[in-house]
Copies of this chain bind each other. A is one copy, B any other.
């Protein structure tokens, strides 16, 4: 059993919490608006608590389930509480005004920018290629979900991979943290093609044949 803190009370928190709770893990949901964290927690089944951004972070793995800008701001706010912890960045830093570019520098990624804000934490990129609804469902067309991870700290990446696998998904090791640049490209593409796929947002990027 791993203790996980998820920050944010949106659809991705619901998705990741659903899978983690199904895997028997303990989930703490923290949000700026404590009542939305509480409402979400009350809708989930398992060992789940809720709190605000002032609540002490109890998870060994902390997932920032927030848009890119908010993730940076919250990381800065909670920096001390995140020291030494594994912090998972799930964001896709898409320019939502144009949907035609990423807002991060060409030679970087959201995960690398986040790591600069919390240098004493171990940032792992993950879950950005997976949609919330498919996490709640737990599978797509009979396929386990693939969750690609990138990190520089091997132990941190292993911890998140173990969480992913014990929660019924397949972890794929995408390499060092800078591979987040490519993973965020995958997330961007996956979002950008939804229109032609019927806008169900219920698809998954899957490696088949292995």
A interface, CB within 8 angstroms of B: 100, 106-107, 134, 140-141, 143, 148, 172-176, 179, 181-183, 185-186, 188-190, 192-193, 196-198, 200, 202-210
Contact = CB atoms under 8 A, between A and B. Distances in A.
Given A174-B189, A182-B188, A189-B148, A210 B203 contact: yes
A203 B174 CA distance: 15
A172 to B, nearest CB: 6
Contact of A185 (B181, B193, B198, B209): B181
Give the number of copies in the complex. 2
Contact of A205 (B179, B197, B207): B207
B197 A210 contact: yes
Contacts of A182: 182, 185-186, 188-189
24 contacts: A100-B175, A106-B107, A134-B209, A140-B209, A143-B208, A148-B189, A172-B196, A174-B192, A174-B193, A179-B189, A181-B185, A182-B186, A186-B189, A190-B207, A197-B210, A200-B209, A202-B210, A203-B208, A203-B209, A204-B208, A204-B209, A206-B206, A206-B208, A208-B208
Nearest to A198: B210
